[in-house]
Amino acid sequence: MTTSFLSPRLLMIGGGAVGRLAEVLGQFGLSRPLVVTDPWMVTSGTVERALAPLRAAGMAPAVFSDTVPDPTDAVVEAGVAAMRGGDYDCLLGFGGGSPMDTAKAMAILAAAAPGQRMRDFKVPAQANRAALPVICVPTTAGTGSEATRFTVITDTERDEKMLIAGLGALPLAAVVDFELTFSVPPRTTADTGIDSLTHALEAFVSRRANEEADEYALRAMRLIAPNLRTVYREPTNALARAAMMKGATLAGLAFSNSSVALVHGMSRPIGAHFHVPHGLSNAMLLPAVTEYSLNAALPRYAEAARAMGIATAAEGDEAAGAKLLRELRDLNRDLAVPTPAAYGIDPAKWERLLPTMAEQALASGSPANNPAVPTAEEIVALYRRAWAG
């Protein structure tokens, strides 16, 4: 029996780390980055936090800023064209999960054979080759994409969020600076924070959980759970932001080496068809899916509740599991997470698409990692259960 653990070659974590970006590139002999980011990062001046230290080191970074939320195959193709228009030796994904995933996908597509498209790399295919190394700088806490072997790209023709996995999507390095997250608005803070918590919880209860990933998942839950409400209410609380940022990266390492499960499998189709932000669609599903899965892995869920600080070591698994369910519902209330109905999703379209969404969820492979593996009919029932909360 062998196990392997994947992570970026260098993880620099801490306040002010972004100022040391040139040093990080320099350690790998890199000096000609194409920075991949979103339009807000440019108009708000945030991307300057990355560009300034690079310029100060004598580099002339170029910027591709046409990324979109829930990045699409079309944007990745435009990004590859931009890559080919210059002499770059690395890509620097700067932003939330969307710009980072775009940079990763650009590196994979640029290494593809002529005629291959993004969809040729979706799971179960392995995307192991990258044309250029990718360095990630996350600005949300977060998807953990800076530390994972995944990128999630929408197939625009099929309205499908594709999971793409392999060494080609694993960044060479990540610079994780919580000071970049002070400006994240409360809604996105909550959504991205629940995304991280879901990563850690799903990695821990996954059928593919392993001892190494467990350590990161537990550590992530210890950091995220007590700080999520604080960052939502106090955006400039440095201690809480630092804990969330580190927790998000550790959760990324955990699920990259274990897996996500049913929440993520069901969440991606909601994002693809209704353009609900990724963390928010996870949050909409988390209580119902956890309730459905609880008894299939009660000791694991109970241990997660203890790591989150909501149950004590003295409490039995049943009591801890019940507290976890209550906490996930309370968290959604405190972070003002709407139900799909309250979010304004068209009920007729929702009902009509449920069989397709269930099929797409199953095809992603993530539900097979869940402690309880659902049928398509059970997934449809869970979507209905989450509809009105």
Tell me which residues touch ligand NAD (CB under 6 A): 38, 40, 69-70, 95-98, 101, 139-140, 142-145, 148, 150-152, 180-181, 183-184, 188, 192, 195, 278-279
Q: Which is nearer to ligand NAD, 21 or 320 (CB)?
A: 21
CB of 114 to ligand NAD, least distance (A): 26
CB of 228 to ligand NAD, least distance (A): 14
Q: Which is nearer to ligand NAD, 153 or 310 (CB)?
A: 153
Q: Which is nearer to ligand NAD, 150 or 301 (CB)?
A: 150
Q: Which is nearer to ligand NAD, 70 or 303 (CB)?
A: 70
Q: Which is nearer to ligand NAD, 38 or 214 (CB)?
A: 38
Q: Which is nearer to ligand NAD, 122 or 323 (CB)?
A: 122
138: β partners: 95
CB of 39 to ligand NAD, least distance (A): 8
CB of 279 to ligand NAD, least distance (A): 5
CB of 280 to ligand NAD, least distance (A): 9
DSSP code per residue over 228-296: HHHHHH-TT-HHHHHHHHHHHHHHHHHHHHS---HHHHHHHHHHHHH---HHHHHHHHHHHHHHHHGGG
At 291, list the tokens.
Answer: 């309730």
Q: Which is nearer to ligand NAD, 267 or 306 (CB)?
A: 267
Q: Which is nearer to ligand NAD, 142 or 321 (CB)?
A: 142
Sign, CA dihedral 144-117-266-370, equals negative
Rounded to whole angstroms, how far apart are CA atoms 234 and 283?
20
CB of 84 to ligand NAD, least distance (A): 23
Q: Which is nearer to ligand NAD, 150 or 383 (CB)?
A: 150
Q: Is the peptide bond before 124 cis (omega within 30 degrees of 0)?
A: yes
CB of 268 to ligand NAD, least distance (A): 7
Sign, CA dihedral 55-57-62-64, equals negative
90 burial level (CB within 10 Å; 0-12, 13-18, 19+)? buried
45 burial level (CB within 10 Å; 0-12, 13-18, 19+)? exposed
Residues 6 or more apart whose CB falls under 8 angstroms from that of 52 comprise: none
Rounded to whole angstroms, how far apart are CA atoms 109 and 90?
14
CB of 325 to ligand NAD, least distance (A): 23
21 burial level (CB within 10 Å; 0-12, 13-18, 19+)? buried
State the CB neighbour count (10 A cutoff) for residue 314: 8
Q: 73-84 vs 97-110: helix axis angle to the nearest 10?
A: 60
CB of 144 to ligand NAD, least distance (A): 6
